[in-house]
Structure 1
Amino acid sequence: MARPAKTAEISERAQRLLRVLIEQYVREGEPVGSRTLARASGLDLSPATVRNVMADLEELGFVCSPHTSAGRVPTAQGYRLFVDSLLKVEPLTAPTVEQLRRQLDIDAEPGELVESVSNLLSSITRMAGVVTLPRQEHAALRRIDFLPLSQRRVLVILIMNEREVQNRIIQTERDYSPAELEAAAAFLNEQFAGKDLAAVRSSLIDEMQRARDGMNQIMNAAVSMAEQVFIEDRNAEGEEVVVAGQTNLMDFRELGDVEKLRQLFEAFNQKRELLHLLDQCLCADGVQIFIGEESGYQVLDECSVVTAPYKVEGEVLGVLGVIGPTRMAYERVIPIVDATARLLGAALNPKT
């Protein structure tokens, strides 16, 4: 994220005018003229004086003048100064937080709960909601079972933590009898039951690095199938982040260009860059805000991303956030993201 802009660079009067300009622009979506600013600021300034201040702010890179208007709009640098130094964010009231909590299906499995949170963020902010799935390294394996299917496929039943059940289908290199699958599951349960997935993966990699000739048939089969379940599946593309409300972005004029929208939706569908950006926030303490080019991804140059990690017992499990235009109501979005992250962590607590 870019370094915060310093308010010491501009006078208090200029800061006041910049704050009013941004608030007006966020509300109206139109370039703000000097006469409007002079009236809205509450300062006893002439439009000519305001124009001079705006010229100074433009020279410093905090505002710019669109070609089609004499008014000015904030730049990403202007938003950064506003968010870091001029914005007063109030936490959500207790009734509002309770209203959010009631909209979450707290009894759902983690995957369904994450989808619920993504939809909730989208519906409340009218922008795109994003949530990464809980990192499975923090999930403990309770039991694994294998059931034979047709065409060399095997149904894998995983019981994680206390009550989370996951079903996966893997393709095997040969047919396995029910007895072989039962023996393979018994071997894996004996070796790994009660361990978190990070330990399971580490042990499996060690096993695979040993000479395969040194394993008996049951061990070989068990390790081969577990490799697909715990290692290859971990890297499945696009399965680790849930996005909702992408089409909401079509309602914002600054994102209404067809080519911009196409690139944005393509990024949402592929999710690779989006997941990488969110991963950067895993170690953050509290809300992180990427404005425009700060994300490092060209497709998000016209967007802001507001994120917060969610935790269970102090352990960060994932990140959630909102993606919208740089012209967003930050004072509203920031506390929503912060409160939702806390609610998701609390909802996941009984499941871990």
Structure 2
Amino acid sequence: MSEERRLEVLRAIVEDYVATQEPVGSRALVERHHLGVSPATIRNDMATLEDEGYITQPHTSAGRIPTDKGYRMFVDRLATVKAMSPAERRAIETFLAGAVDVDDVIQRSVKVLAQLTNQVAIVQYPSLTRSTVRHIELVALESARMLLVVITSSGRVEQRIVELEETPNEELVADLRSRIIRATVGERLPEASLNLAEIIGTFAPGDRPIVTSIVTTLSQTFSNERSDERIAVGGTANLARFGADFDTAIRPVLEALEEQVVLLKLLGEASRPRPTDHPQVRIGSETGHEGFAGTAVVSSPYGSDAEILATLGTVGPTRMDYPGTIAAVGAVARYVGRILADG
């Protein structure tokens, strides 16, 4: 019982410090929370928590504030994540559903996530090396030209025009379209590119120049899609809202935010099997970058049950609303994944 009670005291200290930005004393805990024990017992619990490294006293005669270890215990023991209100869920869905393409989805996701959390939002563009081919279309144009349309599972649409030596007949176009679709649809882009190379030799020698031109262009399109290790960042102005205790951390955070490699590493690989898992929380030194020593990062992969596309998340002070942030990051990740899967 004493251990559970100390956890309740720690939870109350975290919640009060996040809400007030002021160190929390035993008297405040007695007045604001119904812990069912005497003030002396609470003081003893706070002393134990301090000895164990979960809280600290920033200066003499002050109350206590959580340490990174204390925040970690708080997050690990969260029984429930704060539920998004129906209005918040509708706002997310409506705002993201209005996107016209993948770039618009990403930019809208950054904006809504920054607004929901009042933190810095980071969204990784879909990693198309992990994407699969959803559809390929070949459209014959005038003057011996062919329009190639590639649609990936991330919702990206790419178009290429191929200049051919001569106009192919309808039978060849239909046959080539059928073989390309069988070889690529449902395959990840690198594997689809390899499969395309094997198609050329299956056609009659007289048709191979046309087939080679089309297949080569498609392969180049797949290869070019490896370049999307891009990051969208929004809400950096929110860093100024966190109070004087965060002022010293702002500059290194801003400098780190300018480094795309750092951000990609910060979000980490979306390696978990399902994007519907709870978002990951890294606190202080757990971020792996000294510029983020005073921050916490909440991140989640997005995509579908069958395929993870990339990761999104937020950066804020360790003194953040963890239940609310976890809920917001998880909700936006689910909506983004759903929109791209249905696109």
Q: How does the TM-score come out when normalised to structure 2?
A: 0.75
The amino acid across from 1:101 in the alignment is: E
- 1:116: Cα distance to partner? 1.0
Residue 56 (structure 1) aligns with:
48
SS at match of 2:58: coil
Residue 132 (structure 2) aligns with:
138
- 1:339: Cα distance to partner? 2.5
SS at match of 2:97: coil
Query: Does residue 338 of the first structure (1) align with residue 330 of the second (2)?
Result: yes
Residue 178 (structure 1) aligns with:
163
Output the CA distance in 2 between the equivalents of 1:138 and 1:278: 18
Percent of aligned positions that are identical: 27
Output the CA distance in 2 between the equivalents of 1:247 and 1:146: 50
Residue 38 (structure 2) aligns with:
45
The amino acid across from 1:247 in the alignment is: A
Residue 191 (structure 2) aligns with:
202
Output the CA distance in 1 between the equivalents of 2:155 and 2:119: 30
Q: How does 1:216-255 map to 2 (within 5 A)?
A: 225-234=217-226, 236=227, 238-239=229-230, 241-253=231-243, 254-255=245-246
Output the CA distance in 2 between the equivalents of 1:107 and 1:35: 51
Output the CA distance in 2 between the equivalents of 1:177 and 1:42: 73
The amino acid across from 1:98 in the alignment is: R
Which stretch shifts more, 138-147 or 16-25? 138-147
Output the CA distance in 2 between the equivalents of 1:146 and 1:118: 39
The amino acid across from 2:234 in the alignment is: A
- 1:269: Cα distance to partner? 7.3
- 1:327: Cα distance to partner? 1.2
Residue 296 (structure 1) aligns with:
288
- 1:31: Cα distance to partner? 1.9
Query: Does residue 78 of the first structure (1) align with residue 75 of the second (2)?
Result: no
8 Å Cα contact 1:302/1:326 also seen in 2: yes
The amino acid across from 1:121 in the alignment is: L
Output the CA distance in 1 between the equivalents of 2:29 and 2:278: 31
Q: How does 1:49-198 map to 2 (within 5 A)?
A: 49-67=41-59, 70-106=62-98, 108-136=100-128, 137-143=131-137, 158-160=149-151, 166-167=157-158, 178-180=163-165, 192-193=180-181, 195-196=184-185, 198=187
The amino acid across from 1:322 in the alignment is: T
Indicate how the Cα distance of structure 1 residues 124 and 37 shifts in structure 2: closer, same or farther if over 3 A, else same.
same
**Considering only aligned residues, what root-mean-square deviation do their CA atoms show, in Å?**
4.1
Output the CA distance in 2 between the equivalents of 1:177 and 1:41: 71
- 1:12: Cα distance to partner? 2.9
SS at match of 2:164: helix
Query: Which of the residues 307, 310, 318 maps onto 1:318?
Result: 310
Indicate how the Cα distance of structure 1 residues 261 and 164 shifts in structure 2: closer, same or farther if over 3 A, else same.
closer
Output the CA distance in 2 between the equivalents of 1:181 and 1:94: 59
Indicate how the Cα distance of structure 1 residues 272 and 280 shifts in structure 2: closer, same or farther if over 3 A, else same.
same
Residue 286 (structure 1) aligns with:
277
Output the CA distance in 1 between the equivalents of 2:342 and 2:302: 14
Output the CA distance in 1 between the equivalents of 2:225 and 2:335: 28
8 Å Cα contact 1:281/1:288 also seen in 2: no
Output the CA distance in 2 between the equivalents of 1:120 and 1:327: 21
Residue 150 (structure 1) aligns with:
none
Indicate how the Cα distance of structure 1 residues 197 and 88 shifts in structure 2: closer, same or farther if over 3 A, else same.
closer
- 1:24: Cα distance to partner? 0.7
Which stretch shifts more, 138-147 or 319-328? 138-147
Output the CA distance in 2 between the equivalents of 1:217 and 1:315: 36
The amino acid across from 1:289 in the alignment is: Q
Stretches of structure 1 that go unaligned for 5 or more consecutive residues are 1-7, 148-155, 170-175, 210-214
SS at match of 2:38: coil
Residue 151 (structure 1) aligns with:
none
- 1:62: Cα distance to partner? 1.1
The amino acid across from 2:164 in the alignment is: A
SS at match of 1:291: strand
Output the CA distance in 1 between the equivalents of 2:309 and 2:67: 34
- 1:246: Cα distance to partner? 2.6
- 1:221: Cα distance to partner? 5.5
- 1:251: Cα distance to partner? 2.3
Output the CA distance in 2 between the equivalents of 1:181 and 1:53: 84
Deviant stretches of 4+, over 6 Å:
144-147, 206-209
Q: How does the TM-score come out when normalised to structure 1?
A: 0.73
Residue 201 (structure 2) aligns with:
none
8 Å Cα contact 1:197/1:230 also seen in 2: no
Which stretch shifts more, 158-167 or 192-201? 158-167
Stretches of structure 2 that go unaligned for 5 or more consecutive residues are 142-146, 199-204
